[in-house]
């Protein structure tokens, strides 16, 4: 464990040649799923996907001020016949709670990829609140929650999670563990 924590504390998150490039995997999965709108609150863990989506003429990608509005934006996209996804960080989960009533009352498909903080080697104690309550809040709000703890799990989990959301008309969150992302190091 100590060794793993140590290796994650180093910015190995960018990935060595031997590691799966999970960041690109997320983007490729969104493409394969025909996601046409991506709404995001920026996060370092999502930076690569956000850049790729912004550069993709087939994806209408744009920023949100608050995760709350991402729920409506994704449901509105579905009303209009498009698949959408939200990219966010665990600290924003609390912002979505009341808006998730639109998803559950309307039986909308909703798909989000959430990068986790407040767990694996976290430095900032204020991130614990969102990170440690994440799965409980999502579960209580009716969101099916899946978690990738290793980089090689990310691609299939994003694909399977989104397929579940859009085929079964339910909210699904794929959590990417902080162990995958690597803890931020402040020196």
Residues that bind another protein (CB under 8 A): 36-37, 39, 60, 62-66, 68-82, 84, 98-102, 105-108
- Beta carbon of residue 50, minimum distance to another protein (angstroms, whole number): 15
Work out whether the CA dihedral 128, 129, 132, 134 comes out positive or negative.
negative
Strand 83-89 vs strand 144-148: parallel, antiparallel, or unpaired? unpaired
- Beta carbon of residue 95, minimum distance to another protein (angstroms, whole number): 10
Distance of alpha carbon 25 from alpha carbon 72, whole angstroms: 26
Closer to another protein by CB, 107 or 136: give it: 107
Closer to another protein by CB, 120 or 166: give it: 166
Question: What contacts 123, CB < 8 A, 6 or more positions away?
Answer: 183, 184, 185, 186
Closer to another protein by CB, 70 or 182: give it: 70
- Beta carbon of residue 105, minimum distance to another protein (angstroms, whole number): 4
């Amino acid at each position: 464990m100590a060794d793993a924590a140590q290796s994650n504390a180093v910015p190995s998150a960018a990935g060595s040649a031997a590691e799966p490039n999970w960041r690109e995997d997320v983007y490729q999965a969104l493409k394969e799923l025909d996601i046409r709108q991506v709404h995001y609150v920026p996060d370092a863990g999502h930076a690569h996907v956000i850049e790729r989506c912004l550069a993709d003429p087939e994806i209408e990608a744009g920023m949100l001020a608050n995760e709350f509005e991402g729920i409506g934006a994704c449901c509105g996209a579905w009303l209009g016949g498009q698949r959408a996804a939200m990219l966010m960080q665990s600290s924003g989960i609390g912002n979505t709670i009341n808006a998730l009533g639109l998803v559950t009352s309307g039986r909308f498909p909703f798909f989000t990829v959430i990068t986790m903080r407040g767990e694996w080697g976290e430095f900032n104690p204020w991130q614990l609140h969102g990170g440690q309550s994440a799965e409980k809040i999502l579960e209580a709000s009716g969101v099916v929650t899946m978690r990738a703890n290793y980089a090689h799990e990310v691609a299939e989990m994003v694909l399977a999670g989104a397929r579940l959301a859009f085929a079964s008309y339910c909210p699904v969150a794929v959590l990417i563990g902080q162990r995958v992302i690597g803890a931020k190091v402040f020196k």
